[in-house]
Amino acid sequence: MISVDYSQFYVMEMYESEFDELPHMSPDFASHKPVLLTPGTITICSEVHWHYAPVTLLQVPTVDDIPTLGEEWAHLDSVEYRPVYRGTMQLYGCTTGPAEPDVRLQLDPGRTHAVHVYVKGRQDARVRWEEYLDNEFPGEDAYTEGNDPSEDEEDEFRKTVFEEYLIVFSPLGSQAAPQPADRPWRRRF
């Protein structure tokens, strides 16, 4: 489960301290694409502002090995990902950090990868989320920012699935594997 905040969550490549850290780049939210790519990060945009979503990361040997999904699943988008460190991908919430339990996938950094994002429940997720809020917090003052829900309400909210994601990585091409930065002062003699 990942906490989707501000209608987004990430699949991020874990930074390796031996490498030069990439400068932060903001995704192009103005494009209104559901899957946004910046070096080291795949941003998935949700139809719901805040919720918990089950997410599965999967690696397949070829695109033909992507599992057959039922009618309730929709292909959201596909992008090409190029590893920038050692290829360790981690599911990450934008305000909550790594998913709990931790979800990781190891990519070959010498390959480029097609990333196929599938979603279930998206077509009416926003409506179901608004109905949930209206039913659970009907009064204007019952749920306002800063008024945290009780633990029972939080547990119930975590169990309510508005969207579910499957993110599949398949090898696409080759690239030179990213190399650690050459820092002479860090060399051992």
Q: Give 123-144 as a DSSP string.
A: GGHHHHHHHHHHHHS-STTTS-
Residue whose structure tokens are 């690696």:
59
Query: In the Cβ-directed half-sphere of 135, how many Cα atoms lie within 13 Å?
Result: 9
Q: What is the pLDDT of residues 147-158, one digit of tens each?
A: 555 566 666 777
pLDDT number for residue 134? 84
* Band (176; pLDDT cuts 50, 70, 90): very high
Token pair in block for residue 160: 């309510």
pLDDT number for residue 141? 45
pLDDT number for residue 116? 98
* Band (189; pLDDT cuts 50, 70, 90): very low
pTM (2 d.p.): 0.85
pLDDT number for residue 160? 84
Output b/e per residue, 6-23; b: 16+ Cβ within 10 A: ebbbbbbbeebeeeeeee
Closest CA to 59 of 172, 156, 168: 168
The residues pairing with 58 across neighbouring beta strands, listed in sequence order, are 168
pLDDT number for residue 151? 62
Q: What is the pLDDT of residues 43-85, one digit of tens each?
A: 999 999 989 999 999 999 999 999 999 999 999 999 999 999 9
pLDDT number for residue 142? 45
Listed in order, strand segments (DSSP E) in 82-185 are 88-93, 97-98, 104-106, 111-120, 164-174
How far lies 110's CA from each of 129, 175, 181, in Å? Answer: 41, 5, 17
pLDDT at 33 > cutoff 50: yes
pLDDT number for residue 149? 58
- Report the percentage of the chain scoring pLDDT > 70: 86
Q: What is the CA radius of gyration of the chain?
A: 19
